[in-house]
Structure 1
Amino acid sequence: MAKSKRGLGRGLGAILGEVGESYENSLHADNDSLLVLELNIENIKPNPYQPRKNFDESALQELSDSIKEHGLLQPVVVCEDRYGEYILIAGERRLRASKLAGMESIRAILADIKFDKMRELALIENIQREELNPIELALSYQELLNEYNITHEELSQKIKKSRVQITNTLRLLNLEKFVQDYIMEGKLTQGHAKILITLSPDEQRIATDSIIGQKLTVRESEMLIRNIKTQNSIDEDRHPKMINKSHVDRELLHSVLTELLKQNFKANLRNNRLYVEFNQNVEIVDFLKKIQFKA
């Protein structure tokens, strides 16, 4: 039986809009509102469904310094679970930065939200606020599509992102795991990722090592990938039998390539052939001195 479609909730924007309005009202009220609380930081638990895994340490430090100087300008948002404990809904960067600043308590808005909506709200918050890296964003899209059994077009309408952007972002999940890890670490941009998708797993490894080792721009990477594809096509036409019968250890070749790139040599790998480019005699001499690599 096909999985029935479930509708996405009102979304974080609508909920936070109402909460924000109540907060503004409380600032001008004669009596204290129970909606805005001063909570011990240690009593606020993180959202277990938070899709964001990576936080920029330097940006957190800047926010922490700002909080020390000016205080927290915008409260975090929490809800209460069935055990009476406070769970963070929005504002993880503010919470982390406040901890870094040595704050013992933090202002928090208590929202009337059911705990079973936490995953959806966490996903939508980060998508709408554009706080996820490309892989985290793709995983969030995929989770919403699977959870609610909706199409790319329907998701587009719900989260106000273009269908093309959603589809292209989801394609990043077809990349090899090591490429995805580099994207999450910020060593590759989404621009690099888009052109790497067209490559085979082996070609992705070759191109990625070259891009990172030589710090290539997206445009330079496009030229590299065109060269890889062209050369592979020529080699396959000239030596189809030799390529098919090769028993060369590709991982060993990749390790040698990585070492060469670390040593700042211009090198690439094509169909079990390792190419090193020299522009001056001194480079050849330097290469011969460093040729003993630990494979």
Structure 2
Amino acid sequence: MSEDIPLKNIAPDPEQPRKDFDETKIEELAQSMAQQGQAVPITVRPANKRLAGGDRTEDYVIVAGERRWRAAQHLGWDRIRAEVREASVEESRWLALIENLQREALSPMEEARALRRLLHQDDITQTELAKRIGKDQSYVSQKLRLLRVPPPVSFWT
């Protein structure tokens, strides 16, 4: 079950496997989140850090979803939907790695077919589709061009 948590109460995990964050990709994700909302909650764990007086420094540490957290910050959101998971630091390391390794992107042809389906079913322009997915129109146009590739070539994509 997820809950809305203030962004200021969430910190990135310094041991997160992803170290490089492409700002262009974060901006694209932010555009998509602005248009469609947050599709998937991030996963956090209690920080378990205490100051000398016993107060916690942060409430939560990100286990999975730092790109979504960064996109939400980029949008100026105050809160983000998160699933709180009781996990040790060691368990968090494993969860973060597994979450990144198990993600499988659509093939270029699968993506092109999905874009075409959205264009036709929602009766929208390429520009509107691009805006909704947080990409520019040339990205959509290039993907759709793949559908014109002859079958023997497109079979391998």
> What displacement does 1:117 show?
1.7
**Normalization by structure 2: what TM-score?**
0.55
> What displacement does 1:69 show?
1.9
Q: Secondary structure at the match of 2:30?
A: helix
Superposition pairs of residues 137-286 of structure 1, within 5 angstroms: none
Structure 2 counterpart of 1:50: 16
> What displacement does 1:130 show?
6.1
Asked if the contact 1:45/1:88 (under 8 Å) is kept, the reply is yes
Q: Secondary structure at the match of 1:79?
A: strand
Structure 1 counterpart of 2:65: 91
Q: Secondary structure at the match of 1:87?
A: strand
Asked if the contact 1:77/1:90 (under 8 Å) is kept, the reply is yes
4+ aligned runs moved over 4 Å, structure 1: none
Matched, 1:75 2:14: no
Structure 1 counterpart of 2:112: none
Matched, 1:39 2:5: yes
Unaligned runs of 5+ residues in structure 1 are 1-22, 24-35, 132-295
Greater CA radius of gyration, 1 or 2?
A: 1
Structure (1/2) with the larger helix percentage: 1
**Normalization by structure 1: what TM-score?**
0.31
Structure 2 counterpart of 1:111: 85
Residue deviations 1:184-230, cap 9 Å, x none?
xxxxxxxxxxxxxxxxxxxxxxxxxxxxxxxxxxxxxxxxxxxxxxx
How many percent identity over aligned positions?
40
Q: Secondary structure at the match of 2:16?
A: coil
- Paired with 2:22 and 2:46, the residues of 1 have a C-alpha distance of 28
- How many residue pairs get aligned? The number is 97
- Paired with 1:114 and 1:89, the residues of 2 have a C-alpha distance of 10
- Paired with 2:104 and 2:16, the residues of 1 have a C-alpha distance of 14
> What displacement does 1:57 show?
1.9
Q: Which structure is richer in relative contact order (CA contacts within 8 A, separation 6 or more)?
A: 2
- Paired with 2:43 and 2:9, the residues of 1 have a C-alpha distance of 13
Structure 2 counterpart of 1:277: none
